[in-house]
Structure 1
């Protein structure tokens, strides 16, 4: 059973090799690139550990998400009228994956809400970094259907696979 909270990824303490969400790009990112990108200060990955019956000492990963900073030109945002003409900061929800072993337990929504709350905390903390909202580059139609089941995502561009949620919408989340 998964633990209660997401923790920063530390591959010395969790087994990322067994993670399988059914989407190879999401699996490969966690297994090969997440820790390397964190070491380079490019982003942060957070994992929800759980101990499976076949565990070999380290907990497996039930779910994970990755946050990074990004900038967008104002014309890309849904309501650019009050923004400066230079690029504005946003937080990118770069990765989100739920392991197959724990599918259908509500972890998709829990992981998404946790990631969005975390992004809001980063942007609203006086010691954090400000951001206009959260951007998602959606992997495929299954992921798009999942995200669209939440009412707060807006299309970012004409591309339906790019979504945006303003920080103000996350205040009550």
Structure 2
């Protein structure tokens, strides 16, 4: 398996089923449009044309007051992050640790971007409490005033990835 940017002409989006309709529909119907518009980048973990999992990354800003105190740096009201918009593993590949593989790859891209532009870390909107628990295993912290929005600073990624 290897990571690639989504190529709608090459990757089988219709065959993807993670068990969550919203995540399936996004990949099958909206991901390519968002990529073409420059709103996001979608990375797929695939075997040839078959997609085992995917995630999306885009630019995002967060209100300084919503962040944990250790991340409230600088005088700016809005602070830059990358948004992990979606992350899903096809049912046929679930239980094999591919969710971890996907998020670690997203961390590597985020760290690389932070070396080129100013960003403080990653933000994610978990779909539910189970997903929030998955992200919390990696050190994500919930933002104040939100039930399922979490943040992970670059320094925590550095610690996780070594």
Answer 1 or 2: which has greater strand percent: 2
Q: 1:136 aligns with which of 102, 120, 124?
A: 124
Consecutive aligned runs of 4 or more in structure 1 exceeding 6 Å deviation: none
The equivalences for 1:51-62 within 5 A come to 51=48, 59-62=49-52
TM-score, length-normalised on structure 1?
Answer: 0.86
| Structure 2 SS opposite 1:171 | helix
Answer 1 or 2: which has greater helix percent: 2
User: Is 1:47 matched with 2:61?
Assistant: no
Q: 1:113 aligns with which of 90, 97, 104?
A: 104
What whole-Å deviation, never above 9, does each CA across 1:48-85 have from its counterpart, x for those lacking one? 1125xxxxxxx210000000001112111112553223
| Cα RMSD after superposing both structures | 1.4
Structure 2: give runs of 5+ residues left out of the alignment: none
Structure 1: give runs of 5+ residues left out of the alignment: 52-58
Output the CA distance in 1 between the equivalents of 2:114 and 2:76.
21
2:62 alignment partner in structure 1: 72
Equivalenced residue count is 159
1:23 CA drift (Å): 0.6
2:147 alignment partner in structure 1: 160
1:97 CA drift (Å): 0.5
Q: Which deviates more, 95-104 or 77-86?
A: 77-86
Residues 170, 20 of structure 1: CA spacing in aligned structure 2 closer, same or farther, 3 A cutoff? same
Output the CA distance in 1 between the equivalents of 2:72 and 2:92.
46
Cα contact 1:92–1:135 (8 A) shared by 2: yes
